[in-house]
């Protein structure tokens, strides 16, 4: 109790206002002690979502196979595989499935409702069994909370209650509320099978719906987020940082996703459109071809979008060059490339070697001052900067990222982060200079995160400017934990054919992270020393088609970026890895590409394709084994001291 003494009797007096007598205190002790014996809730880990909102929503609904496993546990061989698949689909998409059954005409709907409601009650009851009655009650949909609680907590096998249960169900059907009850039960099941969600970075970029993913997360019952480099650059854009704004625009243009900004966030791109058309009207912009998705992009816009793509890319290289010159301590001079071009010859010199430029039309680049924005470029960027700053929906999403997120998280003796812990060539923690001081390991993460928060929240203009610049630094610097490469070769990929210039060397972390001593060192650095602990890692896609495995270091480190983004799936061969951690251990799921909601509803198909047992615990984990359990134990100790104070007369009981 020394840790939480909080002033002895004075603290107990404050606690006594909530628990004013022996009876109330004892009741709470009994309640908390019993909670410790419940099975630990299921944690769900996703990373590198990259705007794939339909696949993201589907994985949330199925809990990476958790719903299907619960159905298998309850019905085993009682139901056929098709019946279990249909039940799972009903849980994922209740409204769509009901509509399909109604339109098929194959069922007497009242009979179908009776069968499905009874099956859903059984799955819901099993899914809720990990939780206290109080937690279940709070989680239930309000419109049907009382009905569902009666159906999942009563004893139907008792003859007296059989008629009661049947009457509830038949009345719901008779008054036309069966579809609503099915939706409520399905949502409750999805809520109960996953207790907490971890997003291990990169919600933004590439896919068409990051804003939809963010809306979904903001309504999720329990979530934390480890920022990825793509999240951080959007966070920087929300502050109005020029380089971050330009980067977000370039990525959106490159992947044919400018409508995310226009329709999703209401950001007016007309100034960029007009500037690009005027400046590059005769330029085919062949180096700026789009990575659009067949069937999801109006190719009539391609020519215009290529021009906008080029316009914003040149602006990005300019404003980044200004930052690099302003901050020589970043040692990013190798990224200053505009001044290495000889436009009269159409070549660029890098490390003493000349390369032909694939694009030689740079009408806004002044050879005497190549990093200066033209008057027209400055005007465009000021308007765009203001649009990002004044976009309330974007600001709401970014505030949520700050509120629920950070660069890393320790949770239930596991370490979660996107990217890498910077290491040197010898596999030791790399010392990094940040704002005039040197840090490594956990101290680097903590110092950097503090700067990133200042970039958004600081009042002092100097602190805010430094923090905004650090948001850009975190996006692309070699020493950034969420980037983890020696450079971002964006310029070279656009303008130079030779692949040797495109190489981005990974941090030594990726050489050493399969070694037990390295994983142990990193876990210990973050205050974790349990032999059952893991590192959960996102950021670098696992190339399953080449035989690469996501499980490193004998299962102590798990990489869960397997190609959630459709742009990566040709490279990885799958549609992402996700991870669940329940009371029995860790399960890694590999996913097949998700076609559409319509296809899933019609066929009962599921993107869940393969599950690997990463770790099976010798003893089933309970709440007592979790971080929350430790807090409960501390609360019990405080309450026991309060109980002793009442019994010895140190405090007087109240009614």
* DSSP-derived secondary structure for 546-561: GT--SEEGGGTEEE--
Which of 144-153, 309-318, 425-434, 528-537 is predicted with the least confidence, judged by mean pLDDT? 144-153
Pick from 352, 326, 351, 350: nearest CA to 338? 350
Question: How many CA within 13 A on the CB side of residue 411?
Answer: 23
At 122-161, the pLDDT tens digits run 999 999 999 998 899 998 988 888 889 888 887 666 667 7
Three-class DSSP category at 644 = helix
147, 169 contact by CB (below 8 A): no
Angle at which helices 53-62 and 81-92 pack, to 10 degrees?
120
Question: What's the burial of 425, exposed, middle or buried (CB within 10 Å: 0-12/13-18/19+)?
Answer: exposed
State how far the alpha carbon of 295 is from the alpha carbons of 205, 298, 571, in Å.
19, 8, 20
At 436-467, the pLDDT tens digits run 999 999 999 999 999 999 999 999 999 999 99
At 44-75, the pLDDT tens digits run 999 999 999 998 998 899 898 899 999 999 99
pLDDT band for position 171 (cuts 50, 70, 90) = very high
Q: What is the mean pLDDT of the chain?
A: 92
Percent helix, strand, coil in the chain (nearest 5)? 55, 10, 35
10 Å Cβ neighbour count for 80? Answer: 10
pLDDT band for position 111 (cuts 50, 70, 90) = very high
Residue 574 has pLDDT above 80, yes or no: no
Pick from 439, 456, 457: nearest CA to 448? 439
Give the model's pLDDT for residue 1: 38
48, 210 contact by CB (below 8 A): no
pLDDT band for position 3 (cuts 50, 70, 90) = very low
* DSSP-derived secondary structure for 319-344: HHHHHHHH-GGG--GGG--GGGEETT
354, 348 contact by CB (below 8 A): yes
- CB contact set of 122 (below 8 Å; sequence gap of 6+): 74, 75
Residue 8 has pLDDT above 90, yes or no: no
Pick from 188, 160, 154: nearest CA to 67? 188
Residue 7 has pLDDT above 60, yes or no: no
Structure tokens at 24: 């109330």
Three-class DSSP category at 462 = helix
Residue 296 has pLDDT above 90, yes or no: no
Structure tokens at 149: 């609680």
| pTM flag (> 0.85) | yes
Q: Is the dihedral of CA 210, 215, 216, 220 positive or negative?
A: positive
Structure tokens at 552: 């490193």
Specify the pairing of strand 577-582 against strand 43-46.
antiparallel
Structure tokens at 76: 């085993």
- CB contact set of 447 (below 8 Å; sequence gap of 6+): 434, 435, 437, 439
Region of residue 176 (phi > 0: left; psi between -120 and 50: alpha; otherwise: beta): left
Q: What integer is the mean pLDDT of 323-342?
A: 96
Three-class DSSP category at 485 = strand
Write down the domain spans for the chain: 9-38+627-648, 43-202+520-621, 228-389+438-476
- Please tell me the distance from the alpha carbon of residue 205 to that of residue 47, in angstroms, as a whole number: 13
Specify the pairing of strand 557-559 against strand 577-582.
unpaired
Q: Is the dihedral of CA 315, 317, 321, 323 positive or negative?
A: positive
Residue 607 has pLDDT above 80, yes or no: no
Residue 620 has pLDDT above 70, yes or no: yes
Three-class DSSP category at 596 = coil
Which of 3-7, 211-215, 227-231 is predicted with the least confidence, judged by mean pLDDT? 3-7
């Amino acid at each position: 109790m020394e840790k939480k003494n909080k002033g002895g009797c004075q603290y107990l007096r404050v606690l006594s206002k909530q628990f004013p007598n022996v009876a109330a205190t004892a009741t709470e002790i009994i309640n908390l002690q019993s909670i410790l014996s419940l099975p630990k809730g299921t944690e769900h880990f996703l990373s590198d979502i990259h705007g794939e909102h339909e696949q993201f929503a589907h994985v949330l609904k199925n809990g990476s196979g958790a719903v299907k496993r619960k159905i298998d546990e309850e019905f085993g061989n009682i139901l056929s595989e098709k019946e279990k698949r249909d039940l799972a689909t009903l849980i994922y998409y209740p409204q769509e499935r009901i509509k399909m059954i109604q339109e098929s005409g194959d069922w007497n709907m009242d009979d179908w409702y009776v069968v499905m409601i009874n099956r859903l009650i059984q799955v819901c009851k099993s899914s809720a069994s990990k939780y206290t009655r109080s937690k279940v009650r709070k989680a239930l949909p309000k419109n049907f909370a009382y009905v569902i609680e009666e159906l999942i907590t009563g004893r139907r096998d008792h003859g007296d209650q059989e008629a009661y249960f049947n009457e509830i169900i038949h009345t719901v059907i008779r008054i036309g509320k069966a579809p609503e009850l099915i939706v409520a039960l399905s949502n409750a099941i999805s809520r109960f099978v996953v207790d907490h969600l971890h997003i291990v970075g990169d919600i933004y970029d590439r896919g068409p719906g990051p804003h939809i993913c963010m809306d979904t997360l903001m309504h999720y019952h329990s979530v934390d987020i480890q920022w990825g480099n793509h999240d951080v650059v959007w966070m920087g854009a929300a502050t109005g940082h020029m380089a971050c704004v330009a980067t977000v625009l370039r990525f959106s243009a490159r992947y044919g996703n400018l409508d995310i900004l226009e329709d999703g966030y209401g950001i007016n791109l007309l100034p960029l459109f007009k500037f690009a058309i005027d400046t590059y009207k005769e330029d085919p912009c062949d180096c700026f071809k789009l990575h659009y998705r067949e069937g999801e992009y109006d190719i009539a816009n391609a020519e215009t979008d290529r021009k906008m793509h080029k316009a914003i890319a040149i602006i990005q290289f300019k404003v980044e060059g200004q930052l690099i010159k302003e901050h020589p301590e970043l040692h990013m001079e190798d990224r200053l490339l505009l001044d290495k071009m000889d436009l009269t010859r159409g070549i660029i010199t890098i490390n003493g070697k000349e390369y032909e430029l694939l694009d030689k039309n740079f009408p806004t680049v002044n050879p005497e001052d190549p990093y200066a924005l033209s008057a027209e470029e400055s005007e465009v960027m000021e308007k765009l900067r203001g649009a990002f700053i004044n976009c309330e929906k974007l600001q709401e999403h970014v505030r949520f990222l700050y509120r629920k997120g950070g660069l890393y998280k320790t949770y239930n003796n596991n370490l979660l982060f996107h990217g890498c812990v910077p290491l040197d060539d010898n596999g030791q923690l790399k010392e990094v200079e940040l704002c005039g001081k040197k840090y490594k390991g956990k101290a680097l993460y903590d110092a950097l995160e503090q700067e990133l928060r200042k970039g958004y929240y600081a009042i002092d203009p100097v602190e805010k400017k430094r923090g905004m610049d650090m948001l850009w630094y975190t996006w692309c610097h070699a020493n950034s934990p969420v980037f983890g490469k020696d450079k971002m070769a964006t310029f070279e990929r656009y303008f130079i054919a030779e692949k040797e210039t495109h190489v981005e060397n990974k941090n030594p972390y990726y050489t050493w992270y399969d070694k037990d001593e390295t994983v142990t060192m990193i876990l210990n650095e973050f205050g974790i020393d349990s032999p059952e602990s893991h590192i959960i890692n996102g950021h670098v896609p696992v190339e399953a088609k080449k035989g690469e495995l996501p499980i490193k270091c004998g299962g102590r480190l798990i990489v869960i970026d397997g190609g959630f983004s459709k742009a990566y799936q040709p490279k990885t061969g799958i549609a992402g890895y996700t991870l669940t951690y329940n009371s029995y251990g860790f399960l890694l799921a590999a996913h097949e590409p998700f076609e559409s909601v319509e296809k899933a509803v019609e066929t009962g198909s599921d993107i869940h394709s393969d599950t690997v047992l990463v770790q099976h615990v010798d003893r089933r984990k309970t709440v007592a084994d979790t971080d929350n359990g430790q807090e409960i134990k501390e609360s019990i100790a405080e309450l026991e001291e309060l109980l002793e104070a009442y019994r010895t007369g140190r405090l007087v009981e109240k009614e």
